[in-house]
Amino acid sequence: MAIDSVGVVGAGQMGNGIAHVFALAGFEVLLNDVSETALDRAVTLIGKNLDRQVKGEKITEAEKQAALGRIRTTQALTDLGQCDLVIEAATEKEVVKQKIFEELLPHLKPETILTSNTSSISITRLASRTDRPEKFMGFHFMNPVPVMQLVELIRGIATDDATYQALLGVVEKLGKTSATAEDFPAFIVNRILMPMINEAVYTLYEGVGSVKSIDQSMKLGANWPMGPLELADFIGLDTCLAIMGVLHDGLADTKYRPCPLLVKYVEAGWLGRKSGRGFYDYSGETPVPTR
């Protein structure tokens, strides 16, 4: 399967990163979002991130300009119909993803591969709502996409080998490394990472340690580059809660119960960096712990 053009649904944190790496690797990219502001912001951010790579001598100015030239934007989801590969990178809500696929399906080429960047939702279930379960896969990038090396490839029960092999080739062309995961809740990375973050929130909730002491302990005691609460803020507390919900519902084990404090923060709208406040307050020059 020749893949030259890629459609990306969603111009948020993940979508703009995915568009960035595909354009830099030589693919023609069509980036879609319902918001024109989000699209403009994404292109600006991609430009800044490419500038950072030029400054770090990872790419040349010519490569940066060529990459930017390969990115087009559209607010019309149906425009993605002629792409060889479509990557859905919308919010981590199954009903939203299903609506996107329903609108997109009538406009897709028969050979188009359809994928989701979901970090936890069943690929088999998402695929079953489409007209091409054999050409549907989980294509899970890590955040921030231009920096992180790993891509999780998740086959649904109906995914055929040609689709899997095609995406293996795409990951290789991106210069990244793939890990194949079975279609179980949260796959590999988040199956391990999210309960660790959730346990860090419980540690805070139970008063075992403060935000500062918990993060410092894991950075200096376990050699983590970022503390678990700092990482939760970076990911987004709403995303962390959604993944814990998928784990809890999908595996029916109380060890995956979301911490009540995590629920409370999300209910308050304290979602981390993107909202300006989470386990840290980001309103000043330096993040300040909120507990």
- Model confidence, pTM: 0.89
In order of start, what are the domains of the chain with their CATH numbers?
Answer: 5-182 (3.40.50.720), 190-289 (1.10.1040.10)
List active site positions: 119, 140, 152, 190
Q: Which two tokens stand for residue 134?
A: 């054999």
CA dist 193 and 231 (Å) reads 10
Each of the 291 residues of the chain gets a pLDDT tens digit; together they read: 789 999 999 999 899 999 999 999 999 999 999 999 999 999 999 999 999 999 999 999 999 999 999 999 999 999 999 999 999 999 888 999 999 999 999 999 999 999 999 988 999 999 999 999 999 999 999 989 999 999 999 999 999 999 999 999 999 999 999 999 999 999 999 999 999 999 999 999 999 999 999 999 999 999 999 999 999 999 999 999 999 999 999 999 999 999 999 999 999 999 999 999 999 999 999 999 999
Under a CB-based contact definition with an 8 Å cutoff, are residues 56 and 62 in contact? no
| Bind-site residues for NAD(+) | 10-15, 33, 92, 97, 119, 143, 274
| Bind-site residues | 10-15, 33, 92, 97, 119, 143, 274
Long-range contacts of range 101-107, CB-CB < 8 Å, 24 or more positions apart? Answer: 101/126, 101/129, 101/130, 102/129, 103/77, 103/78, 104/9, 104/77, 104/78, 104/80, 105/130, 105/131, 107/78, 107/80, 107/81
CA dist 219 and 54 (Å) reads 30
